[in-house]
Structure 1
Amino acid sequence: MFPDGDGPSADPAGSHHERRIRSFQPRRSRVTAGQRAALRRLWPRWGFEIDGLRRLDLDELFAEDEPEASGSGQPNGPSERPVVLEIGFGMGEATADMAAAEPETRVLAVDVHTPGQGNLLRLADERGLTNVRVGNGDAIILLREMLAPGSLSGLRVYFPDPWPKKRHHKRRLIQPEFLDLAAEPLRSGALVHCATDWEPYAEQMLDVLSGHPAYENTQPDGGFAPRPDVRPLTRFEEAGLTKGHKVRDLLFRRR
């Protein structure tokens, strides 16, 4: 789709990683002219490939977003600003809204949907959001091989594929193995925020998060959380509500 190398690649990790059951299906559907223009112009600046070949230097990745020291022309040194990983952002509207509402928070937004990648880049550019970086590829590889221990202040997983058929439940993202993997880059006190409109998946999320020793529920009753004001309504949520689905939020902290 982008043969001259100025956009996201189809398979950034290539064949040097193990083959396994994945929780997502790559969707390189039709890209609009505006999304394509945003990808060509902004991907080299705000996009990155999840190739598993290097550890990300987050200060370098977000260097454009770091205020310069007065009169020096140089950044103020390593940033202590929080970095939140969002896995699966759809078309990016909610991601852009949250980034605009929390300009001090840096957002690593990861997806495999090319139109959504282009749309989020376009939204960030139009709204002057320099605190968003868009990752292309498998979030498992990012967590396992490209993020330093304790480098994340939060994790967001909103409306992941519920894989409703029982034979496909093994493809669901929120599993004990995923939580094991996420625990290392999440610093103590980091907020893990999940949301789904699929009740059986919500119950599974609650079970696996509650049963994992690295996480604790922020709700005193050990149940679901009210939707926090900081999370905007997403397209998936609106579609689910229209169908009569009940949306569940889960808010856990890294111990």
Structure 2
Amino acid sequence: MSPKNSGDVTLTEFNEDGKLIRKIRSFVRREGRLTKGQELAMEQNWPTMGVDFKTEMLNWNEVFGRDGEVVLEIGFGMGASFVEMAKNAPEKNYIGIEVHSPGVGACLMAAGEAQLTNLRVMCHDGVEVFEHMIPDGSLDTVQLFFPDPWHKARHHKRRIVQPAFVEMVRKKLKVGGVFHMATDWENYAEHMIEVMNVAPGYQNVATDGDYVPRPEDRPLTKFEQRGHRLGHGVWDIKFARTE
């Protein structure tokens, strides 16, 4: 079933201690939310690039039809930088998870135009996908770029980077695999570092301070370019799984 016809979606939130709370809310993806181009891309490209949610573990060789490094991105938005990364590294296998169907449609449209064969997408909650579909120790890289900062202090508990979440990511990474985060909110960057520094089984990849320079393989988004012109910072954080 294509994601535009799905009904309930599981959303996630964390409590003050970073423990996972699951919440179910009815979330009907209306046809009208997708543009005609996105709708067409969903119909044409989902059969080859879409991965339906099931409560069974994926086999990456079967998903991509080949062996290769697996890069998973959580929340790719409209997919522009995700598609560019896949285009620039055809030897790697890219799978993206995004809960909003217009973003999935836009990503499939761009990926189709680029005739990519190394990109797959899912339209479901990332925590559910990790729990039920991602084999332990199977990912080379997990990417989380510009997640919602929930900048008000009382909303910080809603931030996705919490102890339970980063432990979930660690289990799915290979030993030596990297969790790569990026944010344009300095307070969130500091929060990420605080959480990661005490998370077991991780080591900061940075050699000079807490942050790494923007890696060449993370494309500069239009939003980020505008931020640079206005003097806004972006913080890249990379932690590798050690055990």
TM-based fold match above 0.5: yes
Cα distance per residue 1:63-119 (max 9 Å; x no partner): 2xx3xxxxxxxxxxxx2x110110111111111111011111111101012111111
Cα distance per residue 1:123-157 (max 9 Å; x no partner): 11111211110011111111122111111000100
Kindly indicate whether residue 64 of structure 2 is the aligned counterpart of residue 59 of structure 1: no
Contact preservation (8 Å) 1:21, 1:171: no
CA distance in 1, matches of 2:165, 2:132: 13
**Gaps in structure 1 of 5+ consecutive residues:** 67-78
The alignment of Structure 1 onto Structure 2 pairs a total of residues equal to 231
1:13 to partner: Cα distance: 5.4
1:223 to partner: Cα distance: 1.0
Give % identity. Answer: 41
CA distance in 2, matches of 1:236, 1:184: 32
CA distance in 2, matches of 1:143, 1:207: 23
**Gaps in structure 2 of 5+ consecutive residues:** 12-19
User: Which of 234, 239, 243 is equivalent to 1:252?
Assistant: 239
Deviates more, 1:123-132 or 1:40-49: 40-49
Contact preservation (8 Å) 1:96, 1:120: yes
1:245 to partner: Cα distance: 2.5
Partner of 2:51: 48
Q: TM-score, normalised by structure 1?
A: 0.82
Cα distance per residue 1:153-188 (max 9 Å; x no partner): 001000000011122111111111101111111001
> Structure 1 runs of 4+ off > 3 angstroms?
5-15, 25-29, 238-244
User: Which of 162, 182, 186 is equivalent to 2:173?
Assistant: 186
Q: CA RMSD of the aligned region, Å? A: 2.4
Q: TM-score, normalised by structure 2?
A: 0.86
User: Which of 211, 219, 227 is equivalent to 2:214?
Assistant: 227
Deviates more, 1:27-36 or 1:170-179: 27-36
Cα distance per residue 1:171-217 (max 9 Å; x no partner): 11111110111111100111111100011101001111122121111
CA distance in 2, matches of 1:14, 1:178: 15
Specify whether residues 26 and 192 from structure 1 end up closer, same or farther in structure 2 by C-alpha distance, changes over 3 A only: farther
1:243 to partner: Cα distance: 5.1
Contact preservation (8 Å) 1:8, 1:43: no
Kindly indicate whether residue 197 of structure 2 is the aligned counterpart of residue 207 of structure 1: no
Specify whether residues 157 and 27 from structure 1 end up closer, same or farther in structure 2 by C-alpha distance, changes over 3 A only: farther
